[in-house]
Every structure is written in C-alpha cells, then in structure tokens.
C-alpha cells in the first residue's frame, strides 16, 4: 500500500539522495494522523456545544471528583494552557452556565472554579460520546496493533514529558 508520504519520500530521495528520509515516514504519518484525529474529536465536542479547550477544562473538573472543582492554576497546569488562555476558557464556560467561580476558602486572593449541575451533565454526555468516538477510531486497527502502538507512544512521549506526579 502506497500513501502520500511514500511519494514525498521518493521525491526527496530523488532530489536529495545524500539525506536519509526515513524519519519523515514516521513523523509525517504521525502528523497527518494527528490532524485527522483532531478533526474527528473536535466534531464530537461541537455536537455538545463545546470547543476542544472547553472539553479539556470540563473533563479536568469532572475527573477531579466531588465537589468537581480546582483552582485556575491547577486547571492551566492540567490542560497545558497559559493562565491567560485559561481565564478566557473559564470566562466562556461561566457565561454558558457550565462552571462557577468563587473565592478560595484557603487563600483569600485565590479563586476556585467548579462545575455546575448543567456543566456536569454536559461533560458526562460529551465524555461518553468522546469515548465511543475514540473506540470507533481505534476499531479500524487490530487490537494487538493498538496495544503495541500504545506501548511505543508511551515510551516515546516519556522522552518529551516527565511522568505526572499524581493526576494525569
């Protein structure tokens, strides 16, 4: 089976035979697959009235367990977003009635962001649909290939990101 990356590699091998273009096969395919996966995932979030960032914030709050709250700093750290970007996300989610903000009982200057009942309902529905979508996307692969791919990606990702201290 030949794909677009094979053709690109062949062209580069012809034009630059002095270079090893094999890495392009892996990195290029990962990049293209990631783009397709993102589009498929975002489509499901949109069905629930959410953007990718909104989904991340609500999912982080939901998996925190009752009372489904975190500080904005914790949210930013867990979603790998700047504090300014997080403020915009929280503002949007608060306007939609999915989260609330209140002063921290521990730090008088701090704030706490919490899921509302509506926010919990939205993320529960969206997360269920998200997992079904991920299952659909992986079901095109052999289960043994999925397990092997997960092992390889975990090992590779560890080269870029330290393992989390407690919560993923």
Asked whether the predicted pLDDT for residue 168 surpasses 50, the reply is no
For residues 56 and 99, what is the distance between their CA atoms, to the nearest angstrom? 13
Q: What is the pTM of this model?
A: 0.87
- Say yes or no: domain 50-129 is CATH 1.10.10.10: yes
What the block records as the tokens of 162 is 């330290």
Gyration radius of the chain over CA positions: 20
Positive/negative CA dihedral, 64, 70, 74, 76: positive
The predicted pLDDT at position 167 comes to 52
Each residue's pLDDT tens digit, 92-150: 999 999 999 998 787 767 899 999 999 999 999 999 999 999 999 999 999 999 999 99
The structural domains of the chain, with segments of one domain joined by +, span: 1-47, 50-129
Report the phi/psi class of residue 65: left, alpha or beta, with left for phi > 0 and alpha for psi in -120 to 50.
left
102 with 116: CB under 8 angstroms? no
Asked whether the predicted pLDDT for residue 165 surpasses 80, the reply is no
Each residue's pLDDT tens digit, 32-66: 999 999 999 999 999 999 999 999 999 999 999 99
For residues 159 and 168, what is the distance between their CA atoms, to the nearest angstrom? 16
The predicted pLDDT at position 147 comes to 98
Asked whether the predicted pLDDT for residue 86 surpasses 60, the reply is yes
Edge-to-edge strands, sheet with 111-115: 69-70, 111-115, 99-103
C-beta neighbour count of 28 within 10 angstroms = 17
For residues 84 and 50, what is the distance between their CA atoms, to the nearest angstrom? 19
The predicted pLDDT at position 84 comes to 84
Mean pLDDT score, 76-86: 84
């Amino acid at each position: 089976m030949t794909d677009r990356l094979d053709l690109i590699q062949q062209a580069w091998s012809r034009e630059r035979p002095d270079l090893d273009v094999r890495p392009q096969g892996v990195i290029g395919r990962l990049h293209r697959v990631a783009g397709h996966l993102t589009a498929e995932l975002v489509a499901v979030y949109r069905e629930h009235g959410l953007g990718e960032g909104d989904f991340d914030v609500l999912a982080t709050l939901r998996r925190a367990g009752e009372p489904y709250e975190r500080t904005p700093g914790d949210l930013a750290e867990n979603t790998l977003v700047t504090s300014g970007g997080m403020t915009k996300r929280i503002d949007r989610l608060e306007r939609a009635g999915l989260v609330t903000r209140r002063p921290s009982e521990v730090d008088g200057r701090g704030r706490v962001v919490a899921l509302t009942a509506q926010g919990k309902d939205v993320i529960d529905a969206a997360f269920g649909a998200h997992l079904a979508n991920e299952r659909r996307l992986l079901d095109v692969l052999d289960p043994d290939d999925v397990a092997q791919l997960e092992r390889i990606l975990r090992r590779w990702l560890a080269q870029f990101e330290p393992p989390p201290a407690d919560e993923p």
